[in-house]
Chains A and B, each alone.
Chain A
Amino acid sequence: MDVTLPIIILALPLFMFLFLGLLGKYMSHRLAGILGTAGMGITLICAYTVAFTYFFSGNPDFINAEGERLQQIVFNVTWLQFTPSLVLRLGFLIDPISSMMLVVITTISFMVHLYSNGYMRDHHGVWEKGFQRFYAFLSLFSFSMLGLVVATNIFQMYIFWELVGASSYLLIGFYYTKPSAVSASKKAFIVTRFADLGFLIGILILSFYAGTFDFTHLTSVAVEGLNHVYQVSEGTAQNILSIFANNPASTFMGASVLTWALVLIFMGGMGKSAMMPLHIWLPDAMEGPTPVSALIHAATMVVAGVYLVARLFPLYLMETAALDIIVVVGALTAFYAAMVACVQVDIKRVLAFSTISQIAFMMVSLGVARPEFHHGLGYMASMFHLFTHAMFKALLFLCAGALIHAIGSNDYTAMHGLRKYMPITHVTFLIGCLAIAGIIPFAGFFSKDEILTACFGHSIFWYIWMSCVAGLTAFYMFRLYFLIFWWKEHKVHDPHHAPHDQPWTMTLPLVILAVVSCFAGFVPFGNLVTWNGHPMFESVSFLTNLENLDWSVAAISLTVAVVAILIAMKMYKTENELPAKMRNALPALWDWCYHRFYWDELYMFITHRIIFGLVCKPIAWFDRHIIDGTMDSFATLTNKASWSIRGLQSGNVQTYVWIYLIGVILLGSITAICLI
């Protein structure tokens, strides 16, 4: 493939970042917005071209005779050479998942760029302070995220991983005069940094044993029964296997080194993807502007963890213990987040927890994926859900942004009954809710159904568990929907400033995304994205997904979703006492859910009391008083010694000669005693 387009995809956002960041303040707001959006638009076109070329051109570089999709490294530049074999390269890898991610990222990013033109100014059309900076940061983020997904090696991924973390930091803290935003950004950065530590160590272990960072080397593993895996020689694959399998020191604390490496790498993913217990930053990250939440904290960056696991999936397959851990973490997180989402007041927080829960779905799906079952259905489902979720969650966030923009508050208590005032938002939000709830034929239905199928194929227990979570999802989303748009009539204080729908720049993305959410479920993912590139279906048509549904699972999940929606409707459609009753019936549960199971408090305790109070401060004290004190005490002691021997110099000449005499005799006699 020609390198031009890939280079543009990476370079343009970076250029826009530098351009807008350095020169932004010398240009008008509108110009900056237009430039930013246009830049992203070009990137979008390039990315689409690349992705479509990859998927549909039929080029033998990308797809072989048997219809298997191949990995292709477009370019790979040596950036930093650690050792002759460990080389950090910056490159561009296209394969099914990176192409898919290119599409997702550029789409959402473009939508958000467009949307922000309207969002980032108030009702009087006054631009937000730092508007240019905002666009610069968005471009930086897009650059980093694109770089992440096209990474050819794990270290490149780590580089961009850090960069997306930093741009997330900048964007969350966009309203930097607000202390809450500052602390939220800080929290996000530090928590993910902590997770990255695990990632880094994981990389170090992996690269030490494998002797390479390159994904193509790391993941080209032949698993029994499957012959065509990214066209890598079997010998090489055997090599890796034998390294990990036969190494004498390969176990550590009961787990194999590979398991440790993979779990540590997954830890990085947990941080970015807000898996419990490293999820605490994500709800707070909602302090950022809403388009940012839509882009970073719903659609793209937070799925980086999923992407990472998917990227290394063949490795994970070799060590299913790590996959089991992923399942457990994911399932717990999914359930936890869904519970919490049921009682939150802030609509962005509900969406944030919903995001956590949905990402956990993807994780679980990856965790349960096994080649034995439907050719690794879970992997495909996870990617599929990633795709659809990005669309409808971005939609939901953008809707929420529209609402917040209109109302000026994040709480649904200030909204209620907005359906008449903001009809477009209403409809698009409803589509989003239906999609996430998994109602046929919206996008979420298909992807979630496949996930549940994959779970079912793996273990009944997790299937039931995840179905419950799916029900909860439908419930809390419709709770939100009803509380925003129904519940009671909206009180309008000032007719001139009644809430209304938004300018076209904001509406257009909503509509586009709503349409995508309606139809994204029909994309035949099974033939595009599978873990080994092998197509799942013989032939492809618009209804492939529908045809290949496992209807028993689908029926159950549909029923669960519908029931949950009905309960939500019952409770929240009109103002009533039921919610209060529920709350009073289970006060402890409600309280714990409302306070997010006190995770933040626990973290505060650990960081402030333990780390700061019991580590940092004592160390600082130790340094000042013990270490420095010792150094100072040399000086003090010298001084003291100086004072204590001053009596020698008494000024009396008789003392002088006496000391002289004793000195000389001691000198002589000690020498004499020693030597004779």
Chain B
Amino acid sequence: MELTMLYYLIPSLFMFCCGVYGFVTRKNMIAILISLELMLNAVDINFVVFNRYLFPGNMEGMFFTLFAIAIAAAETALAIAIIINIFRVASDIDVREINKMKF
């Protein structure tokens, strides 16, 4: 058996879909953030795998992942700050309750 690229892409894809599922189903906003982390992580894996298998000569994928991790960290921090703020205001972080503005 050879570990072709497919073998790495499938788990990553799966992770991404789990992230989608989590985003759409979870009520807790932090859980949603967790799902988003999964998605971003899946993308990172993709980049790395493509880089490793197809274009071992450069490090594009790797560096993209590197920066993506940084961005993800920043984004998480910001999101968590906002969530905590909301918790202060509404004392609830159920995303389904956050729908005062609609239609």
> Chain A residues in contact with chain B, CB under 8 A?
646, 649-654, 657-658, 661
Contacts and interface: CB of A to CB of B under 8 A. Distances in A.
Contact of A651 (B20, B23, B32, B102): B102
B96 interface: yes
B34 to A, nearest CB: 14
B95 A652 contact: yes
B102 A654 contact: no
A661 B95 contact: no
B88 interface: no
B89 interface: no
Nearest to A652: B99
Given A657-B23, A657-B24, A661-B20, A646 B103 contact: yes
Contacts of B101: 651
A642 to B, nearest CB: 10
Given A646-B103, A654-B25, 14 more contacts: A649-B103, A650-B99, A651-B98, A651-B100, A651-B102, A651-B103, A652-B95, A652-B98, A652-B99, A653-B95, A653-B98, A654-B23, A654-B24, A657-B23
A652 B23 contact: no
A654 B33 CA distance: 12
Interface in B32-68: 32
Contacts of A650: 99, 102-103
A649 B99 CA distance: 10
B38 to A, nearest CB: 14
Contacts of A654: 23-25, 32, 95-96
A462 to B, nearest CB: 86
B96 A652 contact: yes
A657 B29 CA distance: 14
A390 B24 CA distance: 101
Q: Which of A649, A653, A657, A661 has the most CB of B within 10 A?
A: A653
B68 to A, nearest CB: 19
Contacts of B25: 654
A618 B74 CA distance: 71
Q: Which of B25, B95, B100, B103 has the most CB of A within 10 A?
A: B103
Contacts of A649: 102-103
Contacts of A657: 23-24
A649 to B, nearest CB: 5
Nearest to A655: B24
A651 B99 contact: yes
B25 to A, nearest CB: 8
A37 B48 CA distance: 115
Nearest to A654: B24
Contacts of A653: 95, 98
A11 B24 CA distance: 93
12 contacts: A646-B103, A650-B102, A650-B103, A651-B100, A651-B101, A652-B96, A652-B98, A652-B102, A653-B98, A654-B25, A654-B32, A654-B96
B81 to A, nearest CB: 17
Interface string B83-103: 000000000000110111111
Contacts of B99: 650-652
A228 B77 CA distance: 117
A553 to B, nearest CB: 97
A661 B99 CA distance: 20
A652 B101 CA distance: 9
B92 to A, nearest CB: 14
A652 B96 CA distance: 6
Interface in B5-38: 20, 23-25, 32
A292 to B, nearest CB: 73
B24 A658 contact: yes
B29 to A, nearest CB: 9
A532 to B, nearest CB: 90
B77 to A, nearest CB: 19
Question: Which 3 interchain pairs have the tightest Cβ spacing?
Answer: A651-B102, A651-B99, A646-B103
A657 B95 CA distance: 13
Contacts of A658: 24
A649 B23 CA distance: 17
A652 B32 CA distance: 13
